Amino acid sequence: MSESAVEWPAVGLTLRVDGHEYPVPQVWIGDSLLAVLRERLDLDEPRDGCGVGECGSCLVTLDGRLAAACLVPAVAAADRDVRTPQDAAFEAAREAVEAANASPCGFCAPALTVAITDLLHRNADPGPAAVREALAGIVCRCAESGRWIEAVARAGEAGVGDAGAAGPGISDSGEMPAYVVEAGEPA
């Protein structure tokens, strides 16, 4: 190894994803949760869009709060509850997205299912403005907001957001969820 080569620290960790525990040996401490989910656990969802937290494609819940998996260090998700769009808790929202053709190409469908479930858990009867605001962070080039509003209505009719129907891992705090790693916060 040359003198200029740097060895990056790696750790072993356990991720709790969709109710299952996965030991993940040798994770570089700079790996994102998204990279580990997709590359180490071979999950197709969440999607990998921009990689900088601007497109919303990689939405998951982390301890019941929405999180852009590309911004969360994998080490910060160790031993916490991670729910991906593949979790059964999001199935009714996924079906509503498909029925409303709210994601014609399918790329943003996983993020929509997570965001719609979270929205309906916080607000069982959101109006069009609330739907647009809640889903504004998801970049989509092939559907108009009317289809998203229809998908939210269909998901609500299917019971998404009813007490207990949202499934495990969805916050009921009433606040707009976000995940921020504070300086000095233990990972």
Query: How sure is the predictor about 175, in pLDDT bands with cuts at 50, 70 and 90?
Result: very low
DSSP state of 177: P
- For residue 59, which amino acid is it? L
Quick count: other Cβ atoms within 10 Å of Cβ 83?
25
- Whether the upstream peptide bond of residue 46 has omega within 30° of 0, thus cis, is yes
Map tokens 């995940």 to a residue.
179
Characterize the bridge pairing of strands 65-68 and 10-17. Answer: unpaired
Which regions of the chain carry the CATH code 1.10.150.120?
A: 88-157
CATH 3.10.20.30 positions along the chain are 10-83
Least-confidence region, from 44-53, 124-133, 174-183:
174-183
pLDDT at site 186:
42
CATH architecture of the domain covering 88-157: Orthogonal Bundle (1.10)
Tokens at 53, concatenated: 């937290």
Q: What is the pLDDT of residues 31-72, one digit of tens each?
A: 999 999 999 999 999 999 998 989 999 999 999 999 999 999
pTM for the whole structure:
0.82
Least confident of 29-43, 78-92, 102-116, 170-184: 170-184
- Residue 164 vs residue 31, higher pLDDT: 31
Reported as a single tens digit per residue, the pLDDT across 90-107 is: 999 999 999 999 998 989
CATH homologous superfamily, domain 10-83: Beta-grasp domain (3.10.20.30)
Whole-angstrom distance, CA of residue 95 vs CA of residue 25: 35
Using CA atoms, how far apart are residues 63 and 154, in angstroms rounded to an integer? Answer: 26
pLDDT for 5-29, tens place per residue? 667 788 899 999 999 999 999 899 8
The DSSP bridge partners found for residue 24 are 13
> For residues 76 and 110, what is the distance between their CA atoms, to the nearest angstrom?
22
pLDDT value for 5: 61
159 φ, ψ (degrees, to nearest 5): 95, 5
Decide if pLDDT at 176 tops 90. no
